[in-house]
Structure 1
Amino acid sequence: MGRRSDHTPDELRELLIACGHELMAERGFAKFSAREAARRAGYSVGTIYNVFGGLDAYLIAVNSRTFREWSAWLEAALAATPDAAGSDARIAALVRAYFAFADANRNAWMAIYDHRIDRGNTVIARQDELAREALTGIVDREVVRWSGGGNGESTRRLVRSLIATVHGHCALWLSGSYALLREEDPAGQALARVFESLAAHRAQAGSR
């Protein structure tokens, strides 16, 4: 069994997150075991509680790694869709990359939403908050780019609604529920709803 002295506090934290994330990707949230994650790292499960203060904080840190990987995936898709391709193409790349990441990382992606955070009793570390905010920031940036407008309150609300729309289509698709609706292109359906909302937002802004 490993000892705390084998790693610095930062190294130990990252090691536990890496092992937990690997296990989450393999098993999913329902079959996740903090004890097994700690064992893979060479430590006892008590080390997780010592380092993170509790299981909730540990799961948040594990899921935040998924957010970071997700953001990097989206940025890579956008980097392959240069400005010259047009803002419509970038929005399409963003939505389809959202689905592609979820498909390629199903267990880790679903774990983000399977973990219910009690915000009344759980303090989320700032680095974990930033990991989650980064994903929304990417969508903010692309919506502002598409609309050619400012990043005001109406745009902020629109972005949250668009994320919810795309997420709903994606979650239903991964669960198999979308197939029961006899829809063959959930990403295409989500993209159509996104463009409808963007066009309505632009029309409303232009009428003011």
Structure 2
Amino acid sequence: MNRIIFLFTVLAIINPSVIYTQTIPFHHYDSKDGLSSSNVFSMVQDKTGYIWFATKAGVSKFDAHSFESYNSNNGLISNDIINVALGSDSSIYFVTSDKGIFKFRNNIIEKYNINNTEYLAPYGIVMRNDTIYTYSFNYLHSIHNHDLTKFYSTQYSLHGNFPDNLLLHSLSNTTMGIIAATSEGLYALRDNKFEKIITDWLQD
């Protein structure tokens, strides 16, 4: 018994976490640290490990030590970035609140033009393969090769079985495919149409 107590005491001295729960270190980053703005809307990590932040004053790239910012001084025509997303070719897509979508690749920022349509400002963007899915609470569109497909709005439901007056809360790219969380339950994109996921085990 004394030997067990002795060994436990030695372990506690060498590694105090045996006795005490470790405290996870947090650091608060804001504009004073180089972040474009303290008002951050979304973030994404690219394949090389950089973390990109969409902010009210541009986009910031973080390498775990410092921030590099992109704004109207180096290619963007709007600093109000509401979303960032990672493309299949490792491009980063910047979504603005009023000036459309921009594509960042090889240190070049270019406007991503959408054919034959007016830009609708989304509050979310999801990438899957080479397709961009943009959504707001009252519409859901996809963009492939600069062509837009209208899935749903309060005026129509062309490529899905959405009920009238449905509200879109979020969109996610999952192992099951694109999943839409709505005011009327969950919908999955299958064969280019959204179908409701039957979830009898969920309670209202």
TM-score normalised to the size of structure 1? 0.25
TM-score normalised to the size of structure 2? 0.26
Higher helix share: 1
The structure having more radius of gyration, on CA atoms, is 2
Higher relative contact order by CA 8 Å / sep ≥ 6: 1 or 2?
1
Higher strand share: 2
